């Protein structure tokens, strides 16, 4: 998506990576959207135990602590078509909701987040390298590769089909209403290009609910390679 693909960079984001810690629910002090420059995340351990932790957003990009996404009550929606009869399937959100345990528990998950389906950079730069590397992710030990977006499940399904995506390789999940994005501080508003509330462009490696690597993406075409290298480094110990 050309107009938002560089949005993160124009806001001052670089490629920010971490090999440690766990994604923390939103903090009132700072969230990733507030960062103004590329900064290496430090190993902070448990946020509550840090006596000298800076609250200056120039010093941090994302809070990492002992909390796990598994503790969240947020759910994501399976990408799906609109079913015309009960025999085809259910359109009810409750019947298609995936809890954080469904998504992360007992799995090594590579997740990349895109601002919106069907848009330029997301379609032409961010997704294709993941499609090309899907088998490599699996061979490296990843159980699930997820394409995430703040969207509805029907748009995500249509986009997946338009890309000839194999759901066995990459699972498309929708965060309808941006509940998960807001809870974990990766939400971003793109009113200037008529997209409204979405997420930043990001990727992360999650092992059994614990975030092992987190990247704020500023070069969508290189993100799959960056995350794949993080997977290999993590598996190598």
Which range, of 1-5, 96-100, 193-197, 204-208, averages the lowest pLDDT? 1-5
Task: Reply yes or no on whether the pLDDT at 59 is more than 80.
Answer: no
Indicate if the pLDDT at residue 11 is higher than 80: no
Whether 6 has a pLDDT exceeding 50, the answer reads: no
- Label residue 128 by pLDDT band (50, 70, 90): very high
**How far apart are the C-alpha atoms of 28 and 45, rounded to whole Å?**
19
**What is the spatial distance between Cα 135 and Cα 142, in angstroms, rounded to a whole number?**
9
Indicate whether 225 belongs to any domain: yes
Task: Report strand pairing: 64-65 vs 22-23.
Answer: antiparallel
Rounded to whole angstroms, the Cα distance separating 188 from 209 reads 23
Q: Is the model's pLDDT at 1 over the cut of 90?
A: no
How many domains does the chain divide into?
1
Q: How far apart are CA 131 and CA 135, in angstroms?
A: 8
Contact 131, 167 (CB under 8 A): no
Per-residue confidence at 28, pLDDT binned at 50, 70, 90? very low
Whether 195 contacts 89, CB under 8 Å: no
pLDDT at 10: 34
In the chain, the N- to C-terminal Cα span, in Å, equals 35
Asked whether residue 32 is domain-assigned, the answer is: no
Instruction: Give the DSSP letter string of 5-58.
Output: HTHHHHTT---B--SSSEEPPP-SS--GGG--S--PPP----GGG-SS----TT
Element (H, E) at 179: helix 179-183
Catalytic residue list: 122
**Three-class DSSP labels, 26-38:** CCCCCCHHHCCCC
Q: Do the domain assignments include residue 5?
A: no
Structural domain boundaries enclosing 152: 68-236
Mean pLDDT of 19-32: 36
Q: For residue 54, what are the CA distances in angstroms to 29, 42, 58?
A: 10, 12, 9
User: Is residue 41 included in any domain, yes or no?
Assistant: no
Where helices occur in 57-168 by DSSP H, the ranges are: 100-104, 120-121, 127-139, 153-162
Question: Mind listing the pLDDT tens digit for each residue in 151-160?
Answer: 999 999 999 9
159: in domain: yes
Q: Band the pLDDT of 71: cuts 50, 70, 90.
A: low
Residue 89: inside a domain:
yes
**For residue 56, is it within any domain?**
no
Can you tell me the mean pLDDT for 62-68?
42
Question: Is residue 21 in some structural domain?
Answer: no
With beta carbons less than 8 A apart as the criterion, state whether 196 and 151 touch: no
CATH of the domain at 152: 3.40.30.10
């Amino acid at each position: 998506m050309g107009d938002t693909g560089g949005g993160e960079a124009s806001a001052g984001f670089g490629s920010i990576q971490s090999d440690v810690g766990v994604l923390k629910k939103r903090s009132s002090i700072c969230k990733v959207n507030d960062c103004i420059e590329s900064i290496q995340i430090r190993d902070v351990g448990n946020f509550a135990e840090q006596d000298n932790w800076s609250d200056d957003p120039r010093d941090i990009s994302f809070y990492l602590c002992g909390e796990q996404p598994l503790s969240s009550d947020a759910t994501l929606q399976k990408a799906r078509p609109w079913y015309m009869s009960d025999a085809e399937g259910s359109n009810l959100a409750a019947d298609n909701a995936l809890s954080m345990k469904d998504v992360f528990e007992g799995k090594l998950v590579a997740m990349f987040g895109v601002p919106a389906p069907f848009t330029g950079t997301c379609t032409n730069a961010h997704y294709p390298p993941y499609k090309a590397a899907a088998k490599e992710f699996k061979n490296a030990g990843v159980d699930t590769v997820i394409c995430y977006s703040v969207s509805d499940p029907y748009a995500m399904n249509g986009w997946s089909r338009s890309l000839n995506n194999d759901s066995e390789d990459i699972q498309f999940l929708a965060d309808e209403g941006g509940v998960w994005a807001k809870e974990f501080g990766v939400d971003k508003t793109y009113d200037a290009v008529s997209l409204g509330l979405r997420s930043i462009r990001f990727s992360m490696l999650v092992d059994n609910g614990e975030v092992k690597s987190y990247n704020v993406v500023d070069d969508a075409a290189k993100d799959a390679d960056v995350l794949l290298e993080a997977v290999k480094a993590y598996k190598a110990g």
